[in-house]
């Protein structure tokens, strides 16, 4: 007998877990659509040429590549040849599983240029990453993206952040904060010290500050050949603390006159003023100049939401990517958006008992006293379903009530409708939630009484 298991980093979801996931997704969709965002769907597989080079040097390593069909590798697999020589990587790989939903969204917009602008979309689908499994991270996962394309106004970024905060509050999170950084401000810091050629390496290093600390970042910058004066200057200014107005005022003295500094400062002021106008609670966001995010396609503000108590890391992340879509369309289309870490959010909510009682998928089980009333049970189940109740009926010959009562208990079905010869003859149904809580009602009133019974049970539980 062969033992089957899922591939590493991939999981099955049993009914209870799936109901929790559906509940979270449903709450998210409600919030997104309240802000005017619309759903789209894209293929799980994209051309390799579409994905490569879009996610930075680390992102490319995490792609699940798909072997090209019809190559000599097929002959090798079939034993027709003993070896194969490959001259170009693209000769054997032509597509890959999507790593995220942002690059596919850019490709989608290039193929649907007639959509109204700004185009506001959300997408909740699977993505795949060939990385080591760790707490809250998997190789196959659902990603939840919200993006707006077609405007370079910071109002769009502010709306994304406001939507993120509202979504997390609606799910029951209270101790979290969205940190907001800006690529242009970091670029201006590097520019002001004359280290423009090191900007990409600075971003990669500073992005690891939370993981390896200041000394670790300095060591990494040294290893990348970044001059000590650039390292020291960038870390000192990027680590400024205080209110956003104070930090920006302080930076203005040293960044005015740099190519990116003035614009970055103006954009950040517009962004934070819009957050205040939208009524986003100040305790849920702050300026963090060390936040740069590792992906290469970000061009402006970037943001991540962190749970602060307990400290479990980021659960959302995104930013502005004004140049990515232009790589496909040939013309610039500004865009901004965020990803909500659905997997990590669900894991945290489970660990800290944040889910409400979602109950069972089925509200009511129709139980047959014996085989003589099986047909009547099927008819009753149909009547109850037509009345809007979620209901199960017997699928095999009954062997008494006890096994059926145990089945309902194991599945968490709160109510049983019992039919026996006596009930059928009298035109009645026995509704039962426990040995000391049952009532006999007219069959024509069974649906209404069952609904009332279920509401009483819900009120007792609450």
15-27 residue pLDDT tens: 999 999 999 999 9
Please say whether the beta carbons of 147 and 121 come within 8 A: yes
Measure the CA–CA gap between 413 and 407, rounded to whole angstroms.
8
Residue 67's H or E segment, with its range, is strand 65-67
Burial (Cβ within 10 Å: 0-12, 13-18, ≥19) of residue 7: exposed
pLDDT tens digits, residue range 36-45?
A: 999 999 999 9
Q: Which two tokens stand for residue 135?
A: 């707490």
Phi/psi-derived region of residue 9, left when phi > 0, alpha when psi is between -120 and 50, beta in every other case = left
Question: How does strand 364-368 pair with strand 391-392?
Answer: parallel
Q: Over the chain, what is the mean pLDDT?
A: 90
pTM given for the model: 0.85
Q: How confident is the model at residue 70 (pLDDT cuts 50, 70, 90)?
A: confident
Measure the CA–CA gap between 112 and 116, rounded to whole angstroms.
10
**pLDDT recorded at residue 401:** 93
CA distances (Å), origin 81, targets 66, 70, 86, 89, 316: 21, 14, 14, 20, 49
Query: The tokens 């930075």 sit on which residue?
Result: 56
pLDDT tens digits, residue range 327-341?
A: 877 888 999 999 999
Measure the CA–CA gap between 67 and 93, rounded to whole angstroms.
5
**pLDDT recorded at residue 327:** 81
Backbone angles phi, psi at 137, to 5 degrees: -130, 135
**pLDDT recorded at residue 56:** 66
Nearest to 192 by CA among 296, 295, 262: 262
**pLDDT recorded at residue 247:** 92
Measure the CA–CA gap between 283 and 296, rounded to whole angstroms.
29
Centroid of chain to Cα 231:
34
Q: What share of the chain in percent tops pLDDT 90?
A: 56
Which of 36-40, 77-81, 115-119, 332-336 has the least mean pLDDT? Answer: 77-81
């Amino acid at each position: 007998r062969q033992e089957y298991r899922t591939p590493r980093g991939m999981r099955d979801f049993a009914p209870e877990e799936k109901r929790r996931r559906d509940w979270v997704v449903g709450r998210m969709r409600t919030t997104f659509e309240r802000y005017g965002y619309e759903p789209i769907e894209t293929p799980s597989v994209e051309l390799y040429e579409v994905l490569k080079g879009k996610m930075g040097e680390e992102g490319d390593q995490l792609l699940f590549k798909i072997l090209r069909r019809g190559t000599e590798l097929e002959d090798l697999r079939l034993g027709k040849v003993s070896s194969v020589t490959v001259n170009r990587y693209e000769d054997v790989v032509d597509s890959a599983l999507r790593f995220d939903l942002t690059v596919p969204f850019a490709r989608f917009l290039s193929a649907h240029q007639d959509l109204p602008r700004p185009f506001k979309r959300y997408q909740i689908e699977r993505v795949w990453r060939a990385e080591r499994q760790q707490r809250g991270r998997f190789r196959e996962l659902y990603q939840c993206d919200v993006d707006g394309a077609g405007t370079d106004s910071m109002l769009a970024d502010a709306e994304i952040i406001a939507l993120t905060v509202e979504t997390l509050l609606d799910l029951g999170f209270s101790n979290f904060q969205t940190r907001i950084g800006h690529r242009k401000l970091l670029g201006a810091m590097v520019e002001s010290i004359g280290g423009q050629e090191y900007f990409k390496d600075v971003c990669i290093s500073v992005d690891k500050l939370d993981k390896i600390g200041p000394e670790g970042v300095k060591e990494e910058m040294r290893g990348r050949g970044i001059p000590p004066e650039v390292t020291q200057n960038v870390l000192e200014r990027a680590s400024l603390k205080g209110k956003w107005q104070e930090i920006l005022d302080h930076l203005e003295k040293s960044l005015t006159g740099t190519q990116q500094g003035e614009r970055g400062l103006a954009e950040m002021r517009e962004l934070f003023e819009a957050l205040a106008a939208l009524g986003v609670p100040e305790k849920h966001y702050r300026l963090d100049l060390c936040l740069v995010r590792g992906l290469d396609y970000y061009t402006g503000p970037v943001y991540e939401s962190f749970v602060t108590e307990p400290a479990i890391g980021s659960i959302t992340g995104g930013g502005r990517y004004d140049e990515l879509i232009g790589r496909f369309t040939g013309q610039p289309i500004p865009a901004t958006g965020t990803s909500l870490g659905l997997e990590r959010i669900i894991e945290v909510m489970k660990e800290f008992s944040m889910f409400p009682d979602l109950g069972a998928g089925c509200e009511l089980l129709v139980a047959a006293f014996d085989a003589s009333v099986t047909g009547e049970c099927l008819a009753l189940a149909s009547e109850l379903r037509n009345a809007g109740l979620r209901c199960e009926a017997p699928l095999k010959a009954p062997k008494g009530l006890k096994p059926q009562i145990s089945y309902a208990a194991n599945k968490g079905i709160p109510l049983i409708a019992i039919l026996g010869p006596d009930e059928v003859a009298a035109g009645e149904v026995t509704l039962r939630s426990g040995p000391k809580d049952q009532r006999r009602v007219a069959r024509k009133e069974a649906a209404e009484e069952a609904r009332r019974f279920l509401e009483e049970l819900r009120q007792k539980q609450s």
